[in-house]
Chain A
Amino acid sequence: DIQMTQSLPSLSASMGDNVIITCRASRNIANYLNWYLQRPGKAPKLLIYGASSLEAGVPSRFRGSGSGTDFALTISSLEPGDFGTYFCQQSYSVPYIFGQGTKLEV
C-alpha cells in the first residue's frame, strides 16, 4: 500500500496569512493527489484534485502543487472559513489512503 504522510499534525496561523501544508507519498503517485478540507462536525470537501486542479467553486486562493512523492497545498490570505483539518489522499492505486491530516488553527 502507498502510505501518505502529513508531517505537521497542526499549524497555527492568523487571518490574512499565507500557509503551506505538505504531504508526502511513500512512492511515486504521479499527480494522483487530492486535497480535502474538513470543518468541525462537517463532511470533507474536495479542494484540489490531480495535484493542482481546482475543484469548481473553490477560491483561487487555494493552490496545489507537486508530483511524484512530494506535494503542497498553498492557501493565500487566510479567511475564517479556511480553518479546519486538511487531508491529502492518493488515488493512484487502491487502497486510496488518506494522510493523517493537518489541523489549521487560529
Chain B
Amino acid sequence: EVKLVESGGAVVKPGGSLRLACEASEFMFDDYTMHWVRQPPGKGLEWVALISWDGSTVHSIDSVRGRFTISRDNSKNSLYLQMNDLKSEDTALYYCAKGRARQSYGSIDSWGQGTMVGVFS
C-alpha cells in the first residue's frame, strides 16, 4: 500500500520560511508525478503545485509562484516544498499526493495525512 508521510509543518510569523517534506514508500517513486494540495481550516481543497516524475517539469498556482518551490530527490524517495515569504493566507493543512498514472499528469490517487502550517503574527 502506498505510504506518504509529511513533515515540517509549524507555526511561523508572516514573512517566515518553512520546508515541508514528504517521504514516500511502497511504490516506484521516480515513475510518478507528485503534488502538494492544501486545505485551509474548514475550507475546500486547493491544488498548489506538481513536479513530474523526473523533476524536469514543475507547475504551481499564481498565488505561490516566486515564493514556494517544489522539488524532489528520487534517490531518497522524497518530495519537498520550500515555502518563503509566508502569508496568513498560506495557513492550511498541506497534503503530499501521488499522481495516479505512471509518467503522466492528471488525477491523484494517494494522499498523506497532511502537515499543518500556521502563519500568524
Contacts and interface: CB of A to CB of B under 8 A. Distances in A.
A43 B108 contact: no
Contacts of B61: 95
Given A43-B113, A49-B100, A95-B61, A100 B107 contact: no
A98 B45 contact: yes
B50 interface: yes
A91 B111 contact: no
Contacts of A34: 106-108
Interface in B83-121: 95, 100, 105-109, 111-114
In the complex, the 6 A-B pairs of residues with the closest C-beta atoms, listed nearest first: A43-B111, A49-B107, A94-B59, A34-B107, A91-B106, A98-B45
A89 B112 contact: no
A46 interface: yes
